[in-house]
Amino acid sequence: MQICNLSHPSLQIADFSTLSDQSWCIYGGNDSGIDEFFAILAGEITPAAEILILPEAPGIISFKIQQDIYENELRIDDSDFLDHPDPGTPAIAFLPPGSAQSPLVAAMAMTASLNEGYRQLSSGQSRKLILLREILNGARHLIVQNPYDGLDQAGCLELDRALAALARHQVQVLVTVNNREDIPFWCSHLAILHQGRIVAQGGRETVMDRIATVRSAAKGAFQPVVDTFAATPALPGNEDEELVNLKDGYACYGQHLLFEHLNLRIDTGCHTLVTGPNGSGKSTLLQMITGDNPKCYANDLRIFGIRRGSGESIWELKRDMGIVSPDLHRNYRAPGTTRQVVLSGLFDSIGLYRRPTGIQERRAMQWLEWIGLAGRAGQPFRRLSFAEQRLVLIARALIKLPRLLILDEPTQGLDNHNRAGLLDFLEQIAANRISTVLYVSHRQDEYRPFFRRHIRLGAAGPPAPMS
């Protein structure tokens, strides 16, 4: 690979080259130009350049490819004609014949998932499936975007081992990451992108010393301040007001038991963190609370004091919820501008089908200013980068200041500064009793003292309070 004097509105690359025996990591924040650089490496953008020599037929693993597959699966969804949800194309159909017995499938802990439909896979599982597809089809070059997002610790280790083994066996691997903690141990070389330029490149250990300087100069886009909501009253009721109450709860996936005997009560101000490995039922639990999983009616579950299955309106309950999740991100396919997506949070709709008031319009623009995207207000939402889309969906959830803020891996795709900015803001939300936060995360560095309860799914023993 060789790039010389590349010019793009978001990038100016003077010189960048790799050798076949090198494994590279490109590190940069959300506003560094890293998404555009990945698009160039993947062949999605052809910029002006004096020299632009890219790998021939590389294996590309990205959020865009995952989304494209997911949308195709939705187009062939036959659920309306079946007496059960259509699981989608079996995962094994994406791999070459005979792949089920490959040691690499077992090494990535994907053997049991091959008979599941694509839409049943988690974001992390679908990423591993695409990676397997490219490797088993013989790709000699891999270009991977944020490979560890959405994976639990065990999943990260499995993927790390697999990529390290590939890098040792004549497969050139290049990954892009937004977080310093995600820079893999096995990469031999590292480049740092900052403000559209490569400010350092070379051997991993040498360049690592430059990251602290670059990080201190970077700024996150997410800059809201709770003081702005001074006129907004705190949530009604006292801390004993019940928001969620699940008694002896259980959930299963097919014949697989996800959890059982789960007791969860969330009162106003009881900010709750949910952790656990992939497949332990974290997202299922949140979907039961939001009413998006039918298991909510098979359990003794109350939301805002109302028993699920008692004739309640799901839309009335959702008016008091703000939701961000990988499922929402995948399913938000309605055409519309960035501003319209934020406004849709006021109406709990995917797409904007009502004429907003002037006050609502101004509130949406204020949120776009806070997340650093006011200049993209009129641009199509689907043309934003993955990280920008995630920030917009967070603003969509927060615009109505909901009583219960449900966040399932909300920082996926965000860099260190934007993750820290969001968590700082949630800490202010908690301190000012504006919303009660229910938060799912895999990342150890996202644990904050304002979480008063910690539910560990897939672990022995009862849920425990945060220490």
pLDDT tens digits, the chain, 467 residues: what are they? 999 999 999 999 999 999 988 999 999 988 899 999 999 999 999 999 999 999 988 999 998 898 889 889 888 887 667 666 777 899 999 999 999 999 889 888 889 889 888 888 877 788 889 999 999 999 999 999 999 887 888 888 888 888 888 888 778 999 999 988 899 999 999 999 999 999 999 999 999 988 877 766 666 677 776 655 544 555 554 566 899 999 999 998 767 788 999 999 999 999 999 988 877 888 889 999 998 888 888 999 999 999 988 887 878 888 899 999 988 998 898 899 999 999 999 999 999 999 999 999 999 999 999 888 999 999 999 989 888 899 999 999 999 989 999 999 998 888 888 888 889 888 988 888 889 999 998 877 788 999 999 998 885 444 444 43
What is the secondary structure of 25-50 as a DSSP string?
EEEE-TTTTHHHHHHHHTTS---EEE
pLDDT at 274: 93
Per the structure, the complete domain to which residue 73 belongs is given by 2-217
CA-nearest of 149, 102, 104 to 122 is 149
Measured in whole angstroms, how far is the alpha carbon of residue 392 from the centre of its chain? 13
pLDDT at 361: 95
Q: How are beta strands 453-456 and 172-177 bridged, if at all?
A: unpaired
Strands, sheet with 59-61, edge to edge from the N-terminal-most edge strand: 59-61, 141-145, 172-177, 24-28, 189-194, 197-203
What is the secondary structure of 136-158 as a DSSP string?
HTT-SEEEEESTTTT--HHHHHH
pLDDT at 464: 44
206 and 267 together in one domain:
no
329 and 447 together in one domain:
yes
d(CA 273, CA 81): 38
Query: b/e string for 402-417 if b means 16 or more Cβ within 10 A?
Result: bbbbbbbbbbbbbbbb
d(CA 149, CA 209): 24
Last residue of a domain, one of 153, 182, 217: 217
Asked if residue 107 lies in contact with residue 155, where contact means CB atoms within 8 angstroms, the answer is no
pLDDT at 465: 44
* Backbone CA torsion sign across 304, 308, 311, 316: positive
189 and 261 together in one domain:
no
Q: What is the pTM of this model?
A: 0.82
pLDDT at 229: 54
286 and 347 together in one domain:
yes
365 and 286 together in one domain:
yes
Last residue of a domain, one of 162, 187, 217: 217
pLDDT at 238: 52
374 and 315 together in one domain:
yes
162 and 282 together in one domain:
no
Residue 65 parent element (H or E):
helix 63-75
* Backbone CA torsion sign across 365, 367, 369, 373: negative
Query: b/e string for 268-296 if b means 16 or more Cβ within 10 A?
Result: bbbbbbbbbbbbbbbbbbbbbbbbbbebb
57 and 203 together in one domain:
yes
Query: b/e string for 329-346 if b means 16 or more Cβ within 10 A?
Result: bbebeeebbbbbbbbbbb
Q: How many helices (H) and strands (E) does the chain have?
A: 13, 19
197 and 247 together in one domain:
no
Q: Which residue has the tokens 């896979």?
A: 121
325 and 421 together in one domain:
yes
What is the secondary structure of 418-461 as a DSSP string?
HHHHHHHHHHHHHHTTS-EEEEE---GGG--TT--EEEETTSSS
How far, in Å, are 160, 242, 277, 327, 446 from residue 456 at the CA level? 24, 21, 9, 21, 15
Q: What CATH number does the domain containing 362 carry?
A: 3.40.50.300
In total, how many domains does the chain have?
2
Residue 388 parent element (H or E):
helix 386-398
| Whole-number average pLDDT of the chain | 87
180 and 270 together in one domain:
no
Last residue of a domain, one of 158, 184, 217: 217
d(CA 303, CA 241): 11
152 and 265 together in one domain:
no
d(CA 78, CA 86): 6
How far, in Å, are 87, 100, 109, 253, 311 from residue 279 at the CA level? 16, 20, 12, 9, 31
φ/ψ of residue 365, rounded to 5: -65, -35
Asked if residue 281 lies in contact with residue 222, where contact means CB atoms within 8 angstroms, the answer is no
φ/ψ of residue 466, rounded to 5: -65, 140
Task: Identify the three-state secondary structure at position 91.
Answer: helix
